[in-house]
Amino acid sequence: MSAPLSYGSRPRVKGAASRWSTLWTDTLTIFWGDWLDLRVRIAQVLASGLVSPLIYIVAFGLGLGSSLDATATPTAGDSYLEFILPGMVALSSMAISFGGTTFSICGERLFTKTFEEMMLVPIHPLAMHLGKMLAGIVRGVLTASSVMVVAILFTGKILSFINPLFLIILVLNCAVFAGLGVIVGLTVQSLEMVGLFNNFLIVPMSFLGGTFFDPAALPVALKAVVYILPLTYTSMALRSAAYLPIGEFPWYSIPVLMGFAIALSLVGAYKFSTLQD
In a domain, 163, yes or no: yes
> pLDDT of 191-226, one tens digit each?
788 888 888 899 889 888 888 888 888 888 888 889
In a domain, 5, yes or no: no
Share of the chain above pLDDT 70, in %: 91
What pLDDT score was predicted for residue 250?
93
Total count of domains within the chain: 1
For residue 252, the enclosing domain spans 18-274
In a domain, 26, yes or no: yes
* Whether the Cβ atoms of residue 129 and residue 30 lie closer than 8 Å to each other: no
In a domain, 8, yes or no: no
In a domain, 2, yes or no: no
Q: Is the pLDDT of residue 23 over 90?
A: no
In a domain, 269, yes or no: yes
In a domain, 90, yes or no: yes
- Tell me the mean pLDDT in the region 85-98: 92
> DSSP for the chain?
-PPPPPTT------SHHHHHHHHHHHHHHHHHHHHHHHGGGHHHHHHHTTHHHHHHIIIIIIIIHHHHHTT---SSSSSHHHHHHHHHHHHHHHHHHHHHHHHHHHIIIIIS-THHHHHTS---HHHHHHHHHHHHHHHHHHHHHHHHHHHHHHH--HHHHSSHHHHHHHHHHHHHHHHHHHHHHHH-SSHHHHHHHIIIIIHHHHHHSSSSS-GGGS-HHHHHHHTTSHHHHHHHHHHHHHHS-GGG--TTHHHHHHHHHHHHHHHHHHHHHH---
